[in-house]
Amino acid sequence: MAAIAIRDSEGMELRQLEYFVAVAEEGTFTQGAHRVRVAQSAVSATIRKLERELGSPLFSRNTTTALTDAGQALLPEARAVLSSAAHARDAVAQVRGGLRGTVRVGCPASFGTVQEAQEALRIDLPAILGRFHDTHPRVTIRLRGAPRGSEGHLADVAAGGLDLALVGTIDRPPGIRLHEFGTMRWYLVCSRSHRLAASPSVTLADLEHETFVDFPQGWGSRTLVDRAFARAGIVRDVPFEASDQAGALGLVRNNLGVAFLPRTGSESADTSVIEVAGAALDLSVGLATPADRPPSPATAALIDAILDAAAHPRGWGGLGSGVSGGGPGSGG
């Protein structure tokens, strides 16, 4: 119903849709107004006008700012309209000279160094974006972190909220094309005083009664490990969640639990990194882009720059930033 209304309403303005999408994606009117750089009162008034035109409330204004059913229906339509308008502007601007536009990029929750020796995964996102900006100064990059991990980024790319995202995932959701850079192996990491510290390898069954440190639900490595234990018929206890590899290692070193992490960055004098036998613990790392809509010229240029950097890492200089999501090997 919302899709019909948006096409039939003569008074519909792109500005109304922009404010609506900003509030929907940011989660509050305050943050939405900050994003579009307009006073909150103006954003609220514009969205109320849009609701009157559509004949339905778009947000529930109780303790939280949540989308109503009508708002949920309108969101993908609004994103599509704004995307089409942006593509039209970019095409005209390109004819006038120079690449222009805005590219929305999903990135790991934090930046850190990733270099998995065997797979040689090296994606230095800040370096890529810096060089891209030097070449295309009129293109605006909007970088968004991963509070919901790769799962959230994949959903946003499919729905039109992001143009591309660096992810670590074992899933291939509908509407997503994954340009895979490689895979990263995950190992058991425990303190040197742990009962398994000297083991050459372990199985999941050996870990049935352990306490675990892991990353939040929705992160690629968390999904990878959760499914491995589910296939083994083992329910594990995960009372500790960390937002990056350093935080997870701090908890492990202090004997609060064991964790699954990449070997690189986890080896130290007070930790043991142990191979896990009989379990598939390789996480695909890559660039997620929409499979069912063409990129804008600016987006296509940035996709090419990232893929070129992945294919020729030395040409971009230095080690990579947390391509697995959330800092070094945090598996976002």
How far is it, in rounded angstroms, from Cα 13 to Cα 163? 23
Q: Is 75 exposed, middle or buried (0-12, 13-18, 19+ CB in 10 A)?
A: buried
Q: Quick one: pLDDT at residue 147?
A: 78
- Based on its alpha-carbon atoms, the radius of gyration of the chain, rounded to whole angstroms, reads 22
| Strand, helix or coil for residue 203 | coil
Q: Is 41 exposed, middle or buried (0-12, 13-18, 19+ CB in 10 A)?
A: exposed
311: CB partners within 8 A, 6+ apart: none
Q: Is 287 exposed, middle or buried (0-12, 13-18, 19+ CB in 10 A)?
A: buried
Give the DSSP H/E element, type plus range, for residue 211. strand 211-214
Give the DSSP H/E element, type plus range, for residue 31. helix 29-36
Q: Quick one: pLDDT at residue 109?
A: 61
User: Following DSSP, what letter does each residue of 241-297 receive, concatenated?
Assistant: E-SSHHHHHHHHHTTS-EEEE-STTT-BTTEEEEEETTS--EEEEEEEEESSSPPPH
In tens digits, the chain (332 residues) has pLDDT values of 333 344 434 456 888 998 998 898 888 899 889 888 889 999 999 999 999 989 999 998 876 788 999 998 998 888 888 877 877 776 676 655 578 889 999 987 654 434 443 444 567 889 999 999 999 999 999 998 877 889 999 999 998 889 999 999 998 888 999 999 888 899 999 999 999 999 999 999 999 999 999 999 989 999 999 999 999 999 999 999 998 899 999 999 999 999 999 998 899 999 999 999 999 999 999 999 999 888 989 999 999 999 998 887 553 332 233 343 333 344 56
How far is it, in rounded angstroms, from Cα 148 to Cα 25? 13
Long-range contacts of 76-82 (CB under 8 A, 24+ apart): 76/159, 76/160, 77/2, 77/3, 77/6, 78/6, 78/17, 78/20, 78/21, 79/21, 79/159, 79/160, 79/161, 80/160, 81/6, 81/14, 81/17, 82/14, 82/17, 82/18, 82/21
Q: Could you give the dihedral angle defined by the CA atoms of residues 188, 193, 195 and 197, in that order, rounded to the nearest 10 degrees?
A: 40
Q: Which two three-digit tokens encode residue 125? A: 């996102």
How far is it, in rounded angstroms, from Cα 326 to Cα 230? 24
| Strand, helix or coil for residue 150 | helix
Q: What is the pTM of this model?
A: 0.69
Q: What is the 3-state secondary structure (H, E, C) of 161-174?
A: CCCEEEEEECCCCC
Q: Could you give the dihedral angle defined by the CA atoms of residues 291, 297, 303 and 305, in that order, rounded to the nearest 10 degrees?
A: 160
Q: Is 251 exposed, middle or buried (0-12, 13-18, 19+ CB in 10 A)?
A: buried
Contact 321, 111 (CB under 8 A): yes
Domains of the chain (ranges plus CATH)? 2-78 (1.10.10.10), 85-182+285-321 (3.40.190.10), 184-282 (3.40.190.10)
Contact 36, 21 (CB under 8 A): no
Q: Quick one: pLDDT at residue 324?
A: 36
Q: Quick one: pLDDT at residue 107?
A: 87
How far is it, in rounded angstroms, from Cα 185 to Cα 283? 6
Q: Which two three-digit tokens encode residue 73? A: 């229906």
Q: Quick one: pLDDT at residue 145?
A: 84
